[in-house]
Structure 1
Amino acid sequence: MSEKRKLAFTKANYKIMIVGVVVLALGFILMTMDTEPYGFGFMGLTLGPIVVMLGFIIQFVAIFHKPKSKSDSE
C-alpha cells in the first residue's frame, strides 16, 4: 500500500479546465451583453456562441491532454 494512487487528471489538466470554464463564462456574458432585442445582434448570435464553442473545445482538450514527462504529472 506504499504505492501512491494515480489521479485521472494532472495539474495541467485542471489548469486547462479552469481556462475553459472562464472562456465559457465569457461567451455567455457576451451573449447577454447584446443590445439588440432578444439578443438578435452580432454579439448574441455570432460572437457569443463562437466563444462558447471555443470554451467547450478547450474543455475537450483538457480532458484528453496527456503529460509529456513524469515531472509534469506531479
Structure 2
Amino acid sequence: MKKNQQKEHHKFNHDFVFQKKNYIVMFIGLAVIALGFILMSGGGSEDPNVFNPEIFSFRRIRLAPTLVLIGFAIEAYGILLNPNKENKNTK
C-alpha cells in the first residue's frame, strides 16, 4: 500500500521549474529590455528630404542597445537562478 501511495503522490506532485523569485527577476529583465527599445525609438523626420542627426545621438546608439543587452543578461540570470539553493550566511 505504501508503494501505491507514493505513485499517487508522484502523480499529483506538480513541481514547477521556475519559482516566484525567477519570475520576478525575469520580469525585471523584460522591463529593462522594453526601456531600451523605448529609448531607441523615435528620431525620424516628417520630411524625407531633411536629414535629422538626432538618430545618431548617444541615447540611441550607445545607451539603448546597452540596456537591451543588460536586459537579456538579466533574463538569462533569471532562467538559471536556483531559488531553492540555501544561502551560506543563513546557517
1:19 to 10, 22, 28: 28
Which portions of structure 1, spanning 4 or more consecutive aligned residues, are displaced by more than 2 angstroms?
33-39
- AA at the equivalent of 1:20: G
- AA at the equivalent of 1:32: S
1:46 to 45, 49, 62: 62
Distance 2:17 2:53 in 1: 45
Gaps of 5+ in 2: 1-7, 45-51, 87-91
Gaps of 5+ in 1: 70-74
Within-5 A mapping of 1:1-74:
1-3=8-10, 4-33=13-42, 37=53, 39-67=55-83, 68-69=85-86
Return the index of the structure with the highest Cα Rg.
Answer: 2
Query: 1:34, CA displacement in angstroms?
Result: 5.2
TM-score by length of 2: 0.66
In the superposition, relative to structure 1, how do residues 27 and 39 fare at CA in structure 2: closer, same or farther (>3 Å)? same
The secondary structure found in structure 1 opposite 2:9 is: coil
TM-score by length of 1: 0.80
Distance 1:47 1:34 in 2: 15
Deviations 1:1-55 (A, max 9, x none): 2342111101100000100000000001111155854721111110000000000
Same amino acid, percent of matched pairs? 38
How many pairs were matched up? 69
CA RMSD of aligned residues (A): 2.0
